[in-house]
Structure 1
Amino acid sequence: MSARPLPSSSPAAQGVDASGVLAFLDALDNAPDIEPHSLMILRHGHLVASGWWAPYTPERPHLLYSISKSFTATAAGIAAGEGLIRLDDPVISYFPELEADITDPRSRAMLVRHVASMASGHETDTVFAARELDREDLVRGFLLVPPPRDPGTVFAYNQPATFTLAALVQRASGQSLTGYLRPRLLDPLGIGEVAWLCDRSGRELGFSGLHATTDAIARLGQLYLRGGVWEGERLMPEWWVAEATRPQISTAGDGLGNDWQRGYGFKFWMSRHGYRGDGAFGQFCVVLPEHDAVIATTADTWHMPGLLDLVWEHLLPAMRPAPLTGGGEADAAL
């Protein structure tokens, strides 16, 4: 299916100074360490600016890297709303076939909320250790790596934690993530074809590997901005949106810079402004509740803090407090 177009508007009609958008584009052009691929800006529910840098196009799926995690968390939130999973269930309870193997008390005490918030009690990413312990079942390998700290007490960006969250949603629903999300999220949002890389057993990775368009990123951000409601239909529990987008665990002292120090929710990072889904090399889903705005980017850069800095420097000041009416000489076709 093809996506229904998002409502569009001139920037000025939604209280956005187009000269700030143009300044952001100029700054990108002058940033030698940032290769932009796409940009979409939504304000008050309207698409006010969008663009793609060749060879990228609106229809071309893009590897979202760790924004995949935000889609996984959304699946978990919908599953929680349907009563398929519960945040305070032990993770091991979803994998009874592993009961005899997992003897470490901290691994057994790990709850769904802990793998959702990167607070499994591990101090580093366990992906290599987990694969070393079990090359066929990353969940088993992950649970066999003893956490040195109690779950819920320390943050570590830990890929198998998200893989495990994805696996338990797939286990509880009896479906793949994309199969589960298609009628509950993707179709209602108007998101067309997506593809998700799988492990050897056929389970979608959850922590990365999702290929989707920039438009899909923007729509996910808009759904969270609206508290889980899309076109009058509730797709996700309001309580899940609130929990996912507030700090569940401190990240002080971790990450790449200031925007990685402000806490982690359920697969969303807290930012200096709002919160965001965050994928390697400049894939961002920035949600700005105080400005009623969503900014979606795809890119190729090792300097992700620099890309966010340009957003704060140019796009944030362009957001006026209230919507305006009419056009203006600063409006531009972007």
Structure 2
Amino acid sequence: MVLRGGEVAAETWFAPYEPDQTQRMFSVSKAFTAMAIGIAVGEGLLTVDDRVIDLLPDKLPDVVSDNLAAMRIEHLLTMTTGHDKSSMDGIGMNLSRPEDDWVRAILAEEAPLEPGSRFVYDTGATYLLSAILHRLTGQRMLDWLAPRLLEPLGIRTATWEQDRAGIDVGGFGLAITTEDMASFGQLLLQRGRWGEAQLIPHEWVDRASQALAGIDPQGWEGDWAQGYGYQLWRCRTSAFRADGAFGQFIIVWPEHNAVIALTSASSVTQEILDLVWTTLRFGEPGDGGETYAPQLSLPLPQGAATSSHEDNALVRRDGDLLEITHRGVTLRAAHGRWFVDDTFGTAYAWEDDATLRVATHLLGTPFGWTGTATFGDGSVELAWTQNVTFSGETSWTESVLL
């Protein structure tokens, strides 16, 4: 979705994804956490100079190091906490471990560097901001933000993952729609103002979008080497952005009075940003250059609708749908279109009578899989490929007896 002057210039979604579906934002969530802190600062709940140990006194390790004692809200916002690696390493970012006290585990991680001396990308710093706001307000951050930010922007279906203590995880876990992303970007473009209301102090947005921390020690290149503000990244152009894994972007480009919201599924996200910088051409708003694109589709499997191999333990015909069951999971797939249920969008085609091609996407995420099932005499060979992943294999094969 592209906005010029607050108006939609172009937008499209690729089926099976749809406009009203929320999508996991991954680290775009961090920008919302930073703006929540800015609102809290504006309300007098805390300052950027407050010490972390004073805000979370009951979660401290037995021995408080000098560097931990010197860590302040500003350092959490700019990821210059004094850690030389992600403080999330101490908890494994595992939402299902009820024995873990995330706050205590992160504060127990050694911080060998002087706070403010070095940028190290650290989702744990953002989580601590959420935990501190939770402590100060007595509310989860999502609920606290609702009347102050989300509802004025028309964001009504947002969700946020929580740890077992009920704290929104802050650095990831937010799910919103593309339009919600664009609205948030427009708010940042307008320096925190929405209509007649100043939702975020404009001084906060101005500072948050500047390069406050250099990225050089991290060794990153391209748009990741331009500097980091309050959970926002500078770009090689005059723009700044909120940035999430696999290409979730809210790009704010004041020079062109533009906002670009993108949800993607790519392991090479610099290529996406390169396309934004090299292909978008801005005339004057309202000069007739704007377009309104229809909904498109991700590539569908190509081939026949039926085969002689459609009545066995793996595949079974159900009207005009095909049911594929494997490892206790049943996918219902359509031919020539996507069949969408509450979880997946799935399509199929028979490349030949013995070869089934399936594509499926986990809705609300960038994750998708394509696979082939090649039927032989009493068995079938399966080959699957996953589009993006944080770790592990992206393709695998197996043989199944029928």
* Category of TM-score, reference length = shorter chain: 0.7 to 0.9
Aligned partners of 2:65, 2:157: CA distance in 1, in Å?
Answer: 41
Aligned to 1:291: 256
- Equivalent AA in structure 2 for residue 184 of structure 1: R
Q: CA deviation at 1:131?
A: 5.3
SS in 2 for 1:164: helix
Aligned to 1:113: 74
Query: Greater strand share, 1 or 2?
Result: 2
Aligned to 1:275: 240
Aligned to 1:258: 222
Aligned to 1:196: 160
Aligned partners of 2:226, 2:203: CA distance in 1, in Å?
Answer: 21
Q: CA deviation at 1:331?
A: 4.6
Aligned partners of 1:233, 1:77: CA distance in 2, in Å?
Answer: 15
Taking the TM superposition and a 5 Å limit, the aligned residue runs for 1:190-229 are 190-229=154-193
- Equivalent AA in structure 1 for residue 202 of structure 2: E
SS in 2 for 1:277: strand
Query: What is the identity percentage for the equivalent residue pairs of Structure 1 and Structure 2?
Result: 40
TM-score of the aligned structures, taking structure 1 as reference length: 0.83
Aligned to 1:48: 9
- Are residues 1:304 and 2:304 paired? no
Aligned partners of 2:127, 2:161: CA distance in 1, in Å?
Answer: 12
- Equivalent AA in structure 1 for residue 278 of structure 2: E
| Cα distance change of structure 1 residues 324 and 202 upon mapping to structure 2, 3 Å threshold | closer
Contact 1:257/1:305 (<8 A) preserved:
no
- Are residues 1:152 and 2:116 paired? yes
Q: CA deviation at 1:163?
A: 0.3
SS in 2 for 1:300: coil
Contact 1:41/1:296 (<8 A) preserved:
yes
Contact 1:135/1:141 (<8 A) preserved:
no
Taking the TM superposition and a 5 Å limit, the aligned residue runs for 1:1-334 are 40-99=1-60, 101-130=62-91, 136-254=100-218, 256-273=220-237, 274-315=239-280, 318-320=281-283, 322-325=284-287, 327=288, 331=291, 333-334=293-294
Contact 2:235/2:241 (<8 A) preserved:
yes
SS in 1 for 2:125: helix
- The size of the alignment, in residue pairs, is 289
| Cα distance change of structure 1 residues 106 and 332 upon mapping to structure 2, 3 Å threshold | closer
- Equivalent AA in structure 2 for residue 300 of structure 1: A
Aligned to 2:383: none
Aligned partners of 2:139, 2:71: CA distance in 1, in Å?
Answer: 24
Aligned partners of 2:271, 2:6: CA distance in 1, in Å?
Answer: 27
Aligned partners of 1:78, 1:236: CA distance in 2, in Å?
Answer: 5
Q: CA deviation at 1:256?
A: 4.7
- Equivalent AA in structure 2 for residue 111 of structure 1: R
- Listed as ranges, the gaps of 5+ residues in structure 2 are 295-402
Contact 1:167/1:203 (<8 A) preserved:
yes
- Listed as ranges, the gaps of 5+ residues in structure 1 are 1-39
Aligned partners of 2:166, 2:291: CA distance in 1, in Å?
Answer: 48
Contact 2:24/2:175 (<8 A) preserved:
yes
Aligned partners of 2:159, 2:198: CA distance in 1, in Å?
Answer: 25
| Cα distance change of structure 1 residues 52 and 324 upon mapping to structure 2, 3 Å threshold | closer
Q: CA deviation at 1:292?
A: 0.7
Render the CA deviation track for 1:43-72: whole Å, top value 9, x for unaligned. 111111111001111100100000010111
Aligned partners of 2:254, 2:171: CA distance in 1, in Å?
Answer: 25
Render the CA deviation track for 1:159-204: whole Å, top value 9, x for unaligned. 1111001110111111111110100001001111111111111111
Render the CA deviation track for 1:84-111: whole Å, top value 9, x for unaligned. 1210000111112135635111011100
- Equivalent AA in structure 1 for residue 3 of structure 2: L
Render the CA deviation track for 1:288-334: whole Å, top value 9, x for unaligned. 0111100000011101101101111101xx113x4354x36x85545
Aligned partners of 1:207, 1:220: CA distance in 2, in Å?
Answer: 17
TM-score of the aligned structures, taking structure 2 as reference length: 0.69
Render the CA deviation track for 1:216-235: whole Å, top value 9, x for unaligned. 11111110100100112100
Aligned partners of 2:218, 2:30: CA distance in 1, in Å?
Answer: 18
Query: Greater helix share, 1 or 2?
Result: 1
**Could you say which structure has the larger radius of gyration?**
2
Contact 1:228/1:236 (<8 A) preserved:
yes
Render the CA deviation track for 1:221-250: whole Å, top value 9, x for unaligned. 110100100112100011110111001111
| Cα distance change of structure 1 residues 145 and 331 upon mapping to structure 2, 3 Å threshold | closer
Aligned partners of 2:159, 2:216: CA distance in 1, in Å?
Answer: 34
- Equivalent AA in structure 1 for residue 119 of structure 2: F
Name the structure, 1 or 2, with higher relative contact order (CA <8 Å, separation 6+): 1
Render the CA deviation track for 1:138-172: whole Å, top value 9, x for unaligned. 22111111211100110111111110011101111
